[in-house]
Amino acid sequence: RVRVRGVTIHRPIIYGNTAEVIPLEERQSSSNTAHTHRWTVAVRSAVSAPDSDIVGGADDISYFIKRVSFKLHDTYPNPNRNIDKPPYEVTETGWGEFEIQIRIVFISDCGEKPITFYHHLKLHPWTVDGSGEAENPPPEVALKAGPVHSWQYDEIVFNDPFQSFLNLLTAH
Ligand code: SLL
């Protein structure tokens, strides 16, 4: 099997999270009243469907991805979450922000090593008060402000890919 020297091919992705305040009534009737937010962390294609308010995800990225692992904070049960088919996402509830480790494993025999990066889970719509200090608004204000979004655009770069993998990527 031969590598195609000098060739670089990228695939655009987005990764990040949305978060919403859990309404008080729902919180009080849940088993975990300390959990203030519901959030979703995801890896998707960077292409959004027209007229959709979902960020990205319109293109298939599963043909070159075997697994996406999200490593949550140790306060979560089974913090290592392996997702083997799209959508590559985890939805949870909680009370705090933390770094999520994201690892993408590519399909078997493609010759590409897994990549690892981090996303800071964002729950709060930080606002700036009159004095220029950043503040984290109270839950009722945050609830009215609507969902928080924190997304990063990036490109997965494959250098000197195997000819077979290059063919697969360009065929899609
Ligand atoms: C903080 N450094 O102190 C962060 C840690 C951890 C958030 C945040 C756990 C939920 C559960 C949860 O929300 N952890 O107990 O299932 O802000």
pLDDT in tens, 38-62: 999 999 999 999 988 888 999 999 9
C-alpha 70: how far from chain center: 8
In tens, the pLDDT along 13-36 reads 999 999 999 998 999 999 999 999
At residue 84, does pLDDT exceed 90? yes
Q: Is the CB of 98 under 6 A from ligand 1?
A: yes
At residue 74, does pLDDT exceed 80? yes
Distance CA 153, CA 121 (A): 15
Give 53's DSSP letter.
-
| Non-local CB neighbours of 23 within 8 Å, separated by 6+ positions | 143
% of residues, the chain, pLDDT over 70: 99
Distance 10 CA to ligand 1 centre (A): 35
Distance 130 CA to ligand 1 centre (A): 30
pLDDT band, residue 111 (cuts 50/70/90) = very high
Q: What is the mean pLDDT of the chain?
A: 93
Q: Could you tell me the two tokens for 37?
A: 């937010």
Residue type, 60: D
Task: Give me the sign of the Cα torsion angle 115, 116, 117, 118.
Answer: positive
Comparing 47-56, 102-111, 122-131, which segment has the lowest mean pLDDT? 122-131
Q: What is the pLDDT of residue 76?
A: 98
Q: Could you tell me the two tokens for 142?
A: 């945050």
At residue 129, does pLDDT exceed 80? no
Helix H segments across the chain?
24-28, 139-145, 163-171
Distance 88 CA to ligand 1 centre (A): 22
- Are 111 and 160 a contacting pair, CB within 8 Å? no
